[in-house]
Amino acid sequence: MRAWRIASAAATAVLGVTGIGLVWAFGGDEQTMELTATRGTATGYGFQIDATSVTGMYPGAVKKLKVGFRNPYDFPLQVTGMTGQVVSTSKKACRPSAANLVIQSYSGTMPLTVPADGRAGGGHLPLFMPNSVANDCQGVTFTIRLRGEATKVKR
């Protein structure tokens, strides 16, 4: 089976902390963010990952970053893995570390078949803001890299 992998796709303005909670830096509830992967290796081809907004984060909270997958190919893909990683913040004093925001393991059906030229979803990445979050993280935007892996479904 030939592997079709996604290259890293970074959301440039994913989460912003304001006052007492997290909101999307670019909007309110149910706003969709689209992340399109680019070809990363000789055998890797991109597919799209969609994510919905998250609001109401506070120290100790766990919220769901809902994700979906879009397949641009004329054959089905089977998504075999999904991860997220906090890679930066908009304020130097708020480090992109697990002390401030944790992206937990994907929760949902895996492997997940995405039909040819279609969409599939239903899973999420739990976002956990630990009680150790720094006060310097108020008003910050967290940049999160989403990564997925998929293989071509055998016919």
* Digit-coded pLDDT (tens) for 102-133: 999 999 999 999 999 999 987 999 999 999 99
Banded model confidence at residue 44, pLDDT cuts 50, 70, 90: low
Q: Per-residue pLDDT averaged across 141-145, rounded? A: 81
Residue 150 pairs in a beta bridge with 4, 79
Q: Check if the beta carbon of residue 47 is closer than 8 Å to that of residue 80.
A: no
* Digit-coded pLDDT (tens) for 63-94: 999 999 999 999 999 999 999 999 888 899 99
- E strands of 90-140, at which residues? 102-103, 112-114, 119-128
